[in-house]
Amino acid sequence: MGAALHLAHAHQMPVKKRRPKRTGGGGSDGYDKLVTRVYQDPRMTPEARELILLLAWLTVRDPNRFDEDGNLIRNWRKRASDILGEYGNGRRKESRLADLLYADRPRYEPPHLPWEEQVCAAPMIRRKGTCGQPARGHDYDVDQETGWWTPVWFCRRHEQWGRQVHQRRVTGLGPEPIPNAGGLLPSYFAGSDSKAQSRLKAWARLYKEAAVWKLDRFWEPPKEYGLCADDWPTPGIEPTAEPEPFRLHLAAVDGERVDSGLTQ
């Protein structure tokens, strides 16, 4: 038994030393904290979550992110598109990457109209308060500070008043509305260093390309408030100083990164 064991050791092939793989490390690179931030972000949408996690994985976790010379492959856009794929039966295939980018375009979305029956809000002349009769139409009041819309309902009797509300809205457009949807990709990838503006311009081009692909030729980046949801004020809530969150420095200019890496 002892001799057999000795023989087994004697004829065992020497273990070859393997070259360590460049895997991007463990939690020390901030990836885990970024993923935690994504799942804890109350603003997160399913589309933004899917794309943010994919881009973070492509940058610091994908085992195939290096070329044969060990250099980081810069074309994340093609890699993401290959993974997400296309769909549709016609000659023009739809792009899942374009879908996700378009869903996160920075914009203002007016409030959804409620399903329940509404009542007329026209002011009464002979008594205090509003009409209160069942409504048959609506328009919007525009807040002159935030640019946000509030639905205003009117009944058949007060259609003339409803037309006045409409006229007031179209002639006094008010300020550019504070965005309340999208803008999460720059919040996670633009950063706040000296290259942040270059990254934001790159994200603006990507959003525009996605909008054109989705046949939306009217979308434009918010002029006053920018692309990044982190920079948008929330009406009625005072801004508070918070520590800089983990971000991934990533920007695409025709599919190439400006640079990449997780930072705090």
pLDDT at position 244: 60
Mean pLDDT per segment of 10 residues, for the chain of length 264 residues?
Answer: 39 45 55 91 96 91 82 80 89 91 96 88 93 94 92 96 93 89 92 81 92 94 94 81 59 43 39
pLDDT at position 206: 92
Three-state secondary-structure class, residue 142: strand
pLDDT at position 173: 73
Among 208, 220, 133, 207, residue whose Cα is nearest residue 176: 220
For residues 97-113, one letter each, b for 16 or more C-beta atoms within 10 angstroms of the residue's C-beta and e for the rest, the string is bbbbbbbbbbbbeeeee
Contact yes or no for 140/168 (Cβ under 8 A): no
pLDDT at position 185: 94
pLDDT at position 248: 61
What are the DSSP calls for 95-112, one per residue?
EHHHHHHHHT--B--PPP
Separation of alpha carbons 186 and 183, rounded Å:
6
pLDDT at position 19: 45
- pLDDT per residue over 56-109, tens digit each? 998 888 888 888 877 777 778 888 999 999 998 888 889 999 999 999 999 999
pLDDT at position 26: 54
Whole-angstrom Cα Rg for the chain:
27
The angle that helices 96-103 and 76-84 make with each other, rounded to 10 degrees, is 110
pLDDT at position 101: 96
> What distances in angstroms separate CA 216 from CA 38, 47, 74, 135, 229, one per listed residue?
28, 18, 29, 33, 21
pLDDT at position 96: 95
